[in-house]
Amino acid sequence: MASPLTINPFDAALGAEVTGLDLSNRLADETVTAIQAAWDQHLVLLFRDQAISDDDLVAFSRRFGDLDEPAVNPQGKPYHPDQPYINVISNLTANGVPLGNLGDGEAVWHADMTYRENPPKGAILHGLTVPPAGGATYFANMFAAYDALDADDKALIANKVAIHDGAHNSAGMLRKGYAEQTDVRNTPGARHPLVWRDGDRKALFLGRRPHSYILDMTVADSDALLDRLWARATQDQFMVRHEWRAGDVLMWENLRVLHKRDAFDPASQRVMHRTQISGDPAA
């Protein structure tokens, strides 16, 4: 039987909408294979109008690999009361205590949990409650960003390694158990090459700008190079912007794509549930 899905690429450097699927159903293996192929090609996939439960989200996510539990958050305990593999991204509070991560402010450009040796290779985010304005999410294609670097910068970064900060989340909040460091050479977190090789292709692997440091450089030189790479990597032509509707499910490749989120009106509500697909330890 022909797979019912249709892939409609965005008019952008990455991303596609997938139509024709109800993710609350158990999908046929061939459908999962088609989604995986589209994900590899387009890096970000959007499924609209998905009325799915947390169990559905976990079951769908598991079709793409093992799942990672959420990172340590500023509260120091999971936001979801009974789903260990679901993180809650929300600005709601109860008695002043956050019920989810990232609040209502901007989340700066980042990839998720790259402070780990083996960060998740993907994430799947389900929009449950979305604000009437603001809170858009952006994605940037790091294959395209690498390809557009000039030859001198490609040579300069070929064997360089950077520290990916584990102390702060993308909203700049300190994770429970971490202390502020004033010297970026002491930033806690995994060290990863600035260039990832994926077969013949190469991608920039930047993680997040705050508290990053390129080993074996002076702090001033590291800061200058990082600023230049970040300015190049986050240009409009490499990016797509997603305005949320309730029921959207977005899945992103986490290691070849950066994402960020706009701030939104604190008086409005934004609640999203997210899973993460474990990275390949050999990658």
Binding interface with ligand OGA (CB under 6 A): 89, 102, 107, 112, 123, 125, 137, 170, 259, 261, 272, 274
Backbone φ and ψ of 77, nearest 5°:
-145, 150
Most distant CA atoms of the chain, gap in Å: 60
What are the C-alpha distances in Å from 156 to residues 62, 149, 162? 39, 11, 13
In the three-class reduction of DSSP (H, G, I as helix; E, B as strand; rest coil), residue 191 is classed as strand
Site string for Mn ion, 59-98 (x = CB under 5 A): ----------------------------------------
Secondary structure of residue 97 in the 3-state scheme: strand
Closer residue to ligand OGA in complex, CB, 121/202? 121
253 near Mn ion (CB under 5 A) = no
Quick one: which segment of 66-74, 106-114, 144-152, 266-274 binds Mn ion (CB under 5 A)?
Answer: 106-114
Residue nearest to Mn ion (CB): 112
Quick one: which of 56, 68, 112, 253 contacts Mn ion (CB under 5 A)? Answer: 112
Nearer to ligand OGA, 141 or 222 (CB): 141
DSSP per-residue codes, 221-279: HHHHHHHHHHHHHT-GGGEEEE---TT-EEEEESSSEEEEE----TTS--EEEEEEEPP
89 binds, among ligand OGA, Mn ion, none (CB under 5 to 8 A by kind): ligand OGA
Least distance CB 252 / ligand OGA (angstroms) = 9
Contact yes or no for 47/18 (Cβ under 8 A): yes
